[in-house]
Structure 1
Amino acid sequence: MTSSLNLSGRVAVVTGASRGIGYFIAKELAAAGAHVVAVARTIGGLEELDDEIKAEKAISGKGEATLVPLDLADGAGVDRLGGAIHERWGKLDILVANAGVLGVISPLGHVEAKVFEKVMAVNVNSTWRLIRSVDPLLRLSDAGRAIIMSSGAAHSAKAFWGPYAASKAAVEAMVRSWADETKNLPLRINAVNPGATRTAMRAQAVPGEDPKILPHPSEIARKIVPLASPELTETGLIFDAPTERFLRYRLPE
């Protein structure tokens, strides 16, 4: 766990928290003392996360979770999330917008309209709606932090990755604009490239790959969670998890 990071008294929203990188980011944030609002569609995964956070709290005395079963395609539900957080805590300190879908690996001309539209709805539209819902709450924090998951695909734009690459490029553009709008506030906003990771999405994208050669999502989560630190100064950048470096708008090939 990220033992040196103290997030006691801080409230964090993590989307896509029922598995993969989001699951382990939620665990790390809770272990650092945060109250994690864990958002995902899969109730079983959320309940497992809650059990692990409670078990860790029994040992360390730190961390709690509130489970929110929610499909981010439910725009009205995302809108209500901000209101519910305001009513209970009056602010939000950390946003981790991690949920996303791959779509298909296919020539652009072969992608079905409904598939393309779902990728944009989940990866772009819901991210914007989430930002809109919690931006006022992050501004009420003394050190608001937003961590928005992107991908190297936004920069490499490789053949057959068009829908996903386009969605992540759009997400990065929103990060840059939002960060520029808030650069004179305590709020710090950055995109993250997690790199190739041992997740279900990666297995879907590259089915013939040996997952054992990839880092476990818990390893990547430990690199990302320090972006939630109140001491962070960087904003409007891309954090490249494989190299653990902040980059300005473009990832290395």
Structure 2
Amino acid sequence: MNDESTGSESLIQAGGISQPSLADAARGADAARGAHAARGAPFAPRAALVTGASRGLGAALARELARRGAKVVLVARERAPLEAVAAEIAAQGGVAHALAADIGDKGQTHAIAGAAAALVGPIDLLVHNASTLGRTPLPILLDTECEDLGRVLEVNVVGPFRLTKVIAGAMALRRRGVVVHISSDAAVNAYPRWGAYGASKAALDHLSRTWAAELEGTGVAFYAVDPGEMNTRMHAEAIPDADPSALADPADVARRIVALIGRAGEVPSGARVEAASFEEAP
């Protein structure tokens, strides 16, 4: 457990309450409490938690959200690059906090959520960007070890599920929140050697739709977003011979995803969208 995550379990406000009771309570609350989900109402996040935020798309999303006024908690395993991104955001006048932690470690879930809330207040935007390819070069399924598949599912599916379970209930009680799952076209297309990663993203897409169905009417929206192929370290590890000039800049993709988040009142909860379909946020 990392120092920044230790001892925060007591900060979780919704501990011990089952998800159905949270959803029922939120549905029964007065709809005049300012739920963002009214059709067409813009959504401007105040406190965001972004996982996998030490580089690539996660870092770009943290920068863009901070630029637009959100207080951001950045989560990733590697402390040094994470703190560098947070310092960069702070130097530009934004509010950002680095929280070194492993989304794939069940024991850290409550500590992550509690520490984030202590740093920036109630989280109203949760972006699940952290993911792993598993072993590289990517093996075919026949050569994929069960332990490697298990780690991919733990980080890419189970980790986001646990963190959403901790945070989304409180969002529902406040009738305000957006949860974004970063997906992939490998979730809907069968690419050789992408079996473990693709299966994890397909499962994440389905979780997103199910969360949306179960929390319908609570003011919490869920989206699965396919960012497209980007010029990132992960892409280079997966496809070393790819031409970087043919890949999207993560900063451009981040602006498009933030545009989607801002239109959460218009886009139906549970939708799976391609980032390229949204205009970049100004």
With normalisation by structure 2, the TM-score equals: 0.78
Using the TM superposition, give the Cα deviation of residue 6 of structure 1 relative to its aligned residue in structure 2, in angstroms: 8.0
Counterparts of 1:72-151 in structure 2 under 5 Å? 72-87=103-118, 91-104=122-135, 105-151=138-184
Q: Distance in 1 between matches of 2:113 and 2:274?
A: 29
Question: Contact (CA 8 Å) 1:38, 1:68: kept in 2 or not?
Answer: yes
Question: Contact (CA 8 Å) 2:50, 2:62: kept in 1 or not?
Answer: yes
Using the TM superposition, give the Cα deviation of residue 80 of structure 1 relative to its aligned residue in structure 2, in angstroms: 2.0
Question: Contact (CA 8 Å) 2:43, 2:261: kept in 1 or not?
Answer: no
2:71 corresponds, among 20, 35, 48, to 35
Q: Distance in 1 between matches of 2:174 and 2:53?
A: 22
Cα distance per residue 1:113-162 (max 9 Å; x no partner): 22111111110111111111211232244531111111100101112211
Cα distance per residue 1:9-38 (max 9 Å; x no partner): x11000000000000000000011111011
Q: Distance in 2 between matches of 1:244 and 1:64?
A: 26
Q: Distance in 2 between matches of 1:95 and 1:67?
A: 15
1:204 aligns with 2:240: no
Moved more, 163-172 or 180-189: 180-189
Aligned length: 235
1:244 aligns with 2:278: yes
Q: Distance in 1 between matches of 2:55 and 2:225?
A: 18
Matched with 1:55 is: 91
Using the TM superposition, give the Cα deviation of residue 242 of structure 1 relative to its aligned residue in structure 2, in angstroms: 2.4
Q: Distance in 2 between matches of 1:40 and 1:218?
A: 18
> Relative to 1, partners in 2 of residues 1:231 and 1:72: Cα closer, same or farther, differing over 3 Å?
closer
Query: Which secondary structure state, in structure 2, belongs to the residue aligned with residue 156 of structure 1?
Result: coil
With normalisation by structure 1, the TM-score equals: 0.87
In the alignment, residue 27 of structure 1 is paired with which amino acid? R
> Relative to 1, partners in 2 of residues 1:195 and 1:124: Cα closer, same or farther, differing over 3 Å?
same
Structure with the bigger RCO (C-alpha within 8 Å, sep 6+) is 2
Cα distance per residue 1:52-99 (max 9 Å; x no partner): 111211xxxxx3012110011221211222233445665211000100
Q: Distance in 2 between matches of 1:114 and 1:190?
A: 29
Question: Contact (CA 8 Å) 2:97, 2:119: kept in 1 or not?
Answer: no
**What root-mean-square deviation, in Å, do the aligned CA atoms of Structure 1 and Structure 2 show?**
1.9
In the alignment, residue 70 of structure 1 is paired with which amino acid? A
- Uncovered stretches (5+) of structure 1, i.e. residues with no partner: 58-62, 246-253
> Relative to 1, partners in 2 of residues 1:112 and 1:236: Cα closer, same or farther, differing over 3 Å?
same
